[in-house]
Structure 1
Amino acid sequence: MKTQTMNAWTRCAALLSLLGAGVAQAGIVSNGGFESQTGSNANGYCYTSSAGCAFAGWSSTGNGTVVIGANSSAWGTPSNLGNASGNLGSFVLGLQGNGANISQTLNLATASLVELSWFDAGRSNWSGLQSYSVYFAGTELGTFSTQAGQAWRQHQLSFTASGSGLLEFRSLNLGSYDRTSFINGVQATASQVPEPQSLALALTALAVLGLTRARRHRGL
C-alpha cells in the first residue's frame, strides 16, 4: 500500500511538472541566420530597398536594411569580428541609420512563453554607436547598442505572448548614417503556459491524494 501511495505521489508530481513546463515549440523563426537571400554574395551587399534584394521569410522597410556578405570588406568584414568562430554563415543582417526595420510573424499558441535569442556586432570601419530596438506585437522588448568593431555577442529575452504577433528589429540612428549594427542567429522557442483551470485541477488532485494518505496513516 505504501508503495502504491508513493507511486501516486510521483505521478501527480510529474503531472504538475508537465503542466508547468508546457510543450516546447522550436524553430518558430524562419531564416534566422539570414542565409536564404537574394541580391548579394558572401563578398558583397545590397539594400533591401532595391529591387531583387531580400531576406526570405522577412519583410523590411526603410532605406538602411542591408543584406551583407560575411566577407564583405566594404562593411569591415563581419566574419573577422571577435567570437564569429566560423558559425556566422555567409550572410548577416545590417541595420543602418534610422528607420531600418525587418520583421517576421511568429505563429504562436495562446498564452505562450517565448525564449528569444540573437547575436549582434558592430561595423568596424565606421566609428560610433548604433542602436536598435526589438519589438513583439507592437510592444518594445528592449533597446540595444553596438560599438564600432564590437565582437559578436548573444542576447536573450523571455516574454509572454497572447498569440501570434510580429517580431521586429528597428534601427535607431544616434549619429552618422553609416553606423551599422549586424544581426545574426535569431532563434526562438515557445512553451504554452498552462491554463489556470488545468493547474487548479492538478492541485486539487494533489490535495485529495494528501488527505487520503493522512487518513490511511491514522488508520494504521
Structure 2
Amino acid sequence: MAHFLNGQGTEPVSCYEEVNGVLGVEAEHFAFQTHNSIRKWYKITKNSDSLAMDDPDGNHADGASNGTYLEILPDTRTNHDDKLIHGENFSNEPGKMAILNYYVYINNPGKYYVWVRTHTSGTEDNGIHVGLDGTWPKSGQRMQFDGNKKEWSWESRQRTEAVHTGVPELVYLEILKPGYHTISFSMREDGFEFDKWALTKTYERPEGLGPEEKLH
C-alpha cells in the first residue's frame, strides 16, 4: 500500500490502483483540493443539514456510497432563471475553479472512459470537467448529466454545441504510460453532487455503487 502527502505536504493520503482495465474511487477520498476561494467541495452526510452554505436542493446522502458525497457550495444557480456569473457559479473553462485531485496507479495504459456517479436536481447543477496530470484535454471537458433524473446514477457523456444533453463515448483520458498519475475534476456548475468516479477501458456503465476501490 503506497501513501502520498496531500497538497500541503502535511498529511498522508492514499493512491488507488487500476486492475484489469477498471478503477473506482469514492469522491470524498481526494488527495487535496485547490482553487477553492470562490466555490469549494464540501463533504455531505445525512447529518450535514446544518452546513452553513446555500444548498437549496437538500441532502441526498441516502443512496450515496458510504452515505457520503461531495457538493460544490454555495449553490446559487439552480435553474435557468438564476443569474449565470462566469467565474463564480459557472466555469466553462476547465481547471479554473474547485479542483479535486486524486492519486492513481495505472497498470494497463491506454484509453479510459470516465464515469461519474452524481445526483442531479435540475439542469444547472449537472456539469463537471476531468483532467489528467495537470492537463485538461478536450475529451475531458464538459461532462454532462441528465438534470431531470433526481437520483444517483452513472453517466459518461460530453456536452456539445449540437447536443446539450451530452454525447456518449466522448469523455475519456488517454493514459499513455503505466505508473503513478493524478486524476483531477474541476467545477463547471456549482451545486454539483459527486459520489464516486470510475475509469473503464470499455464503454460499459458501472452497476449499482460501481467498482470497489483498490489501494495501491
TM-score where L is the length of structure 1: 0.48
Report the structure number with the largest CA radius of gyration. 1
Higher share in helix: 1
TM-score where L is the length of structure 2: 0.49
Higher relative contact order (CA 8 A, sep 6+): 2
